[in-house]
Amino acid sequence: MGKLGEMMASEKATLVLVNLAGIMERADEALLPGVYKEVGAALHADPTRLGSLTLFRSIVQSSCYPLAAYLAVRHNRSHVIALGAFLWAAATFLVAISSTFAELFVSSDIINLIPKHSHQYMLDFDEFISLDCLVIRFIFFPKVAISRGLNGIGLAIVTPAIQSLVADSTDDNNRGTAFGWLQLTGNFGSIIGGLISVLLASTSFNGIPGWRIAFHLVGLLSVFIGILVRLFANDPRFVNPDGTLKKNQDDHPPKPFREEVNDLIKEAKAVIKVPTFQLLVAQGVSGSFPWSALSFVPMWLELMGFSHGTTAVILTVFSVAGSLGGLFGGKMGDVLARRLPNAGRIILSQISSGSAIPLAAILMLGLPDDPSTAVMHGFVFFVTGFFISWNAPATNNPIFAEIVPERSRTSIYALDRSFESVLSSFAPPVVGLLAQHVYGFKPPPKGSVGLKAIDTNKENAASLGKALYTAIGIPMTICCAFYSFLYCTYPKDRDRARMDALIVSEMQQIEIDGSNLIQESNLSHGKERSVIDVDYEGDGRLEFDENDEQRLLSRKLTSSDMGKL
């Protein structure tokens, strides 16, 4: 009982640490959208350029999911999660200090290239408004983009490892609830990241802008959590039944790298051929697009006149609603899956995705652009967040675990994130383009203050709201339609995966039984061999006397004579 208790305690500690890593992952993702306005002012960047930062990170992140699958399948997943935490923490630090590096670089080299009359405009790096700031922006912006790319690598290798760990530790009856809890803790991370970034955005400490302090803080916490995961978390695949760590995942020698890559490619091809996977990816691409577009919500609220504090509260309400909705959706998905095995989870997701269309219309187009309506906005945000957050824990993630063998779960989660992230990463720049070129968003003139600035912000808020609804309503309609096809494909693919798992289990049992028979046979032969060794004094040789030699010789001669006849 002592060893069993220690093992259970280790599993609980691992789950807690993995969820903490998930919290920091989502907190890091929420940092930049929360300070779009401040970063845009620092870089003199319009919404399209701000969206391109998220686009660049998402493209790098999605392209690294195959690497994530390889690492999670071939290595200890807790170590993979720790590595991801260290990578995104390094990228977060780089964003926080990138302007300092650029400023030092400019002061030592480029200032000598700038005409003397331009120096009078350089009051502060963030307020450098001469034409020569284009040169500095050229240096500064790529640094931020590179750091966002490194951030994407760290985030990419963590997600499949976390999801496959949760899937492996649950069954078909409680998997939705487990993913609901994972979404709840992840949204808690988004709340932390959003609060830290938005509340610190308008402050400064010893001349350091608050949004930079927010990046430093999240980076430090990520390093701390990564160290804890590396030291104390365990991957069940690398733990023996007695609680000790395995030296090797299996008894076979490691394969060459090229052979492992080929096996991974074959596994990926097998996953891609599953019809249900194709449909879930198709709906996921359209369904993830609105969530990526929501990264402009803090900017939209602030343009309407909401303060940083009010914006933080509204975003917190939205995240809390999404957390509760995810847990509710996951639990209801398990309940409906038991009562309606072939359709329960799908029905729930169609309700969730369909409700997003009218709720977003009320939120983005129906409510007045007035900061005095904070309570009304908060209520609609809560209802919207609760209803639109069911899909992943109730349907997508549990079904992914059911339609492929257990060994392929990491690959299917990695492939899903890769395909979905590639296209959904275009949402922020699409929203920026729609706001600017379709709905009339105009960056405020430099130095504008007073009523003129307020009027400009109001107009821009209306333009951005229309762009947001376009990026939410159309994709959600497509998402809801794709779910309809799952009624035909999901039962077949699930039953096929169960049959494959049963066949593999039977083959493994046959191998185990055969191995036991061989061991018993070797044991019995060993006993006979020991008896013979005792009779012949254990020297392993047969000694012949003269009578034996004569007897053998006579038999040989007799047989040769018979051959002549």
Closest CA to 34 of 202, 210, 193, 220: 193
Residue 239, SS3?
strand
Element housing 209 (H / E): strand 208-209
Average pLDDT of 226-242?
78
* 161 and 35 in a common domain: yes
- Asked if residues 52 and 429 have their Cβ atoms less than 8 Å apart, the reply is yes
* 163 and 51 in a common domain: yes
* 517 and 451 in a common domain: no
* 123 and 19 in a common domain: yes
* 465 and 401 in a common domain: yes
Domain tally for the chain? 2
Burial class from Cβ neighbours inside 10 Å (0-12, 13-18, 19+) for residue 130 reads middle
* 461 and 513 in a common domain: no
Average pLDDT of 9-32?
80
Comparing 496 with 233, which gets the higher pLDDT?
496
* 523 and 458 in a common domain: no
* 552 and 426 in a common domain: no
Range of the domain at 558: 506-564
Percent of the chain scored above 70 by pLDDT?
Answer: 71
pTM: 0.70
> In this structure, what token pair is assigned to residue 360?
């977003």
**Boundary of a domain, candidates 454, 484, 514:** 484
Helix axes 409-424, 257-272, angle to 10 degrees: 70
pLDDT of amino acid 360: 93
- Asked if residues 431 and 270 have their Cβ atoms less than 8 Å apart, the reply is no
Comparing 54 with 471, which gets the higher pLDDT?
471
Average pLDDT of 192-221?
82
Dihedral angle over CA of 361, 362, 367, 372, nearest 10? -120
> In this structure, what token pair is assigned to residue 343?
């359709």
Q: Is residue 172 part of a domain?
A: yes
* 522 and 459 in a common domain: no
Comparing 519 with 289, which gets the higher pLDDT?
289
Predicted confidence band of residue 438 (pLDDT cuts 50, 70, 90): confident
Q: Is residue 489 part of a domain?
A: no
Contacts of 289 (CB under 8 A, 6+ apart): 423, 424, 426, 427, 471, 475
